[in-house]
Chains A and B, each alone.
Chain A
Amino acid sequence: MHDDDHEDDHDEHNPVDEHSALHLELHRAVDELGKYAIEIEFDPKGGIPKEKMKQFIDDLMRTVTMNCMNNGADLVGHVKSFLLVDDGNIMSSIVDEHKPTKIKDAVESDVIYKSKFVLHVIVHGIWDDKIRNLTLEVLPGVCKKWNMPYNIIADYFDVEKSIAHHT
């Protein structure tokens, strides 16, 4: 397969402009999903056992999800994360707050040192800015609880376009 370069999101010659607004009208009707993405670096001093790291990820994702659900969201769209380390990754997903977080562990070693973590939160019923606030509100507390030093590398709130916000 070819390279996986990120496409430029600027689309100056979008041919959809030439077409009927009917399709877009429906899209607007379902445009009730908010989302937020953040990339964080975790650097636990001396490393952290992998199993403990998975518990931390579970706690973080679940806390963010429940904070959204307790503050206006009425449906989890998809809360998903990807933790990248030198020898693998851990993928996690929540689509229903009443069910356990699905975690796929593909890390070889038993101890995790520095890692990069992407969290993507999509819920129905509240908007992007509120999801961002609700995420950042609980992040310090969960990290403190697990003694996990963190550094926010990228906050995608300012650069992401909303899911189906057609103008």
Chain B
Amino acid sequence: MTTEYELRLYVAGRTPKAARAVANLRKICEEHLRGRYRIEVVDLAENPALGRGDQILALPTLVRRLPAPIKKIIGDLSNTERVLIGLDLRARRALRATG
């Protein structure tokens, strides 16, 4: 099994927003990237020093560390289409066509 997608999800504390983002991410990955991904959840409330490296501002932020280039998706990941676009799993144009 190769880890094609290395994803890191930044949150701060166990907020409902964070929990929603984690759940949404797992669901999307299972549906679209089964067997090809790895998720790491970083809690900045516990490790505040880690926010600088990935230029984290907004929370939650999902960072696609691999494959390159780095992509960032901010928010609770509730819009699956947008998350797929952000991960380059769906073409940007498709969203416009389907509304």
- A and B: partners? no
